[in-house]
Amino acid sequence: MSSSTTGTGYVAGFASLIGRPNAGKSTLTNALVGHKVAITSSKPQTTRHTIRGIVTGERSQLILVDTPGLHKPRTLLGQRLNDLVRETLLEVDVIGFCVPADQRIGPGDRFIANELAELKRGKRTPVVAIATKSDTVDRDRLAEHLIALDRLGDWADIIPCSATRGDQVEEVAGVLSSHLPPSPGPLYPDGQLTDEPEMVMIAELVREAALEGVRDELPHSLAVVVEEMVPREGRPDDKPLLDVRVNVFVERDSQKAIVIGRGGSRLREVGTTARTGIEALLGQRVHLDLHVKVAKDWQRDPKQLGRLGF
């Protein structure tokens, strides 16, 4: 990937991809980085922590800050997520506004476009409009979408892409990098893909596995906390084993039953899926100990939100 900046100087900085929930932000982050860092799920609202993916090119380093989806908040958690997004947006060098091509522009997109216009008044951050999921529509529909996108606001650039197919992903990286400030060199060491602590990524992998294939009432009611990670004692040096203890918190007993499944079948599946991801992340064998607990109405309780890391 080459940066499209002029001159020979190096550029480096932060970019944030925003969009309403399920606009394809995490999938695009993963495609840009070429490695799975942000969790992707067909359920909206899965990214809660600011996960950074790092794209290092010959003349540029683009650090992606993946924020939760901006939406009209209905709970205290929703309000905190929106505050987190606004804070993040004030600190980045360029914003990528993801608007999926397979859906008409709606009130959610307009809400964000207005927020961005407001932000640009205060701080002249360039915003690149990205038409995601371009592979899901025909050329006419895509052209129509790009025109609608152009009318939605005053963008530094507009670019369509398909993260799943890999169409125009490098071009998106180039366009975002062209808005980065000069830098004496990379801000992060080469080869580093994310600065998220391992525990946060492990929690996200468990959360992603727990969300797959369950009914819609669960996404907002699931929090995951890694209790401890300790090497198993008495293992030979060439065959280490890491014990990882994880608590999955839900709000009600009925949800606990859903996560555990009949005779614990669902939880075993979640454990197997998550363990595979965790072992790939850490590069070693893991024993995953999962516990499902009820934390009543945690989304509305400031004390519990704090304890669960929000």
Note whether 32 and 173 are within 8 A (CB): yes
For residue 191, the model assigns a pLDDT of: 62
Tokens of 243: 């014990």
For residue 280, the model assigns a pLDDT of: 83
For residue 70, the model assigns a pLDDT of: 64
For residue 34, the model assigns a pLDDT of: 80
For residue 1, the model assigns a pLDDT of: 42
Predicted confidence pLDDT, tens digits, the chain (310 residues) = 443 434 458 999 989 898 887 888 888 988 998 865 555 555 554 444 454 678 888 899 888 876 656 666 777 767 776 777 777 777 789 999 999 999 999 998 998 898 888 888 877 889 999 999 999 999 999 999 999 999 999 999 999 999 999 899 999 999 999 999 998 888 776 666 665 677 788 888 998 899 886 755 565 678 888 888 888 888 888 888 889 999 898 888 888 998 999 999 999 999 999 999 888 888 889 999 999 998 887 777 777 767 666 6
Q: What sections of the chain are H helices per DSSP?
A: 25-33, 76-91, 107-122, 139-152, 169-177, 198-211, 253-260, 265-282, 302-307
CA distances from 167 to 28, 57, 134, 164 (A): 11, 18, 8, 8
> Cβ–Cβ contacts within 10 Å for residue 260, how many?
18
Distance from C-alpha of 99 to C-alpha of 120, rounded to nearest angstrom: 18
Q: With 0-12 CB in 10 A as exposed, 13-18 as middle and 19+ as buried, what is 85?
A: buried
For residue 299, the model assigns a pLDDT of: 73
CA-atom Rg of the chain in angstroms: 20
For residue 6, the model assigns a pLDDT of: 40
- Amino acid code (one letter) for 53: G
Instruction: Kindly write down the DSSP assignment for every residue of 114-137, as one continuous string.
Output: HHHHHHHHHS---EEEEE--GGGS
For residue 128, the model assigns a pLDDT of: 97
